[in-house]
Structure 1
């Protein structure tokens, strides 16, 4: 529900929460919606967003929804720089800090239009072909859910997280066929059919 205009932006109630939404918002359906909650991540945000806009899948197929949870650093400046360059980016600013990424993710899901949804933290970044590879699996198999590889990067080394999930290409499996998979159900490195999330009213717990 649109309440009013403020400084060239729209004030909306999304899931009952007042948010400011930039005018780059479009109703055009995209293949993938990437939802990024942000809170005080200025040190990582530029690299994270660059990895999204440089996806080989192409920005014509990607909708980026950034939901800022009232950051107090310069995250908003970095986001606005990207919004000016890429109309595919929808920038949602919370009017009140919620204290966790759950509500921003739920808001992003609510307004997303993509056939598939990916959740990404603001201090993560994607390999250039990440979305292209994940979409290809879902398009070829008709599956609802695909898991990619997660690599943890520290000052001294890189290591694969949850190697049992992503060490090889396995398709059309029952999740219970993958050992320990239910121990790692966080949103990272996953692409999910949007209808599964929305029709089943799946949300992040607040």
Structure 2
């Protein structure tokens, strides 16, 4: 498998998936008829607003303003998940020799079998950088490889029909794609179920 390089502690790169303050768009929402009920829509809808059956948070892709490490850009996070791209550099995170996907996860991940995550993959070249720049990863992180992944659900803000649509009654709710309330949500992050998760055996040693 690919070797993991030593971290360069003097260089800093803003991860591809993080949000920037200038990308926020406070767009009005509305309820529209849908299959005998109602679903959320933007007041001015775009053709690509709905993904996997759920309304996705719409943001710009300018990376203007300041980086906000508390958030991710929904579209970039979704792209990394769908295309198996590294969340730091946006290059492929699939090992060319084995076809397995590199993933940086909490150290206890996989103890109870395959699960799901909101963190996109991380390629071997960026794993040391990600760990060195993130306090949470420095405390509890391990490198895994994954045979495959499939969409599981979303982390989303949930709205109620009898409340103003700009007032979610629950934020960051975990929702599977078969959830009956999915049409009342605005998705912020895609969740992927990981299959055949194994601790990585790296050619360059542990990061």
- What TM-score bracket applies, with the shorter chain setting the length? under 0.3
* Structure ranking higher on relative contact order (CA contacts 8 Å, 6+ apart): 2
User: For the pair shown, which has the larger CA radius of gyration, 1 or 2?
Assistant: 2
Name the structure where strand makes up a greater proportion of residues. 2
**TM-score normalized by the length of structure 1:** 0.25
**TM-score normalized by the length of structure 2:** 0.25
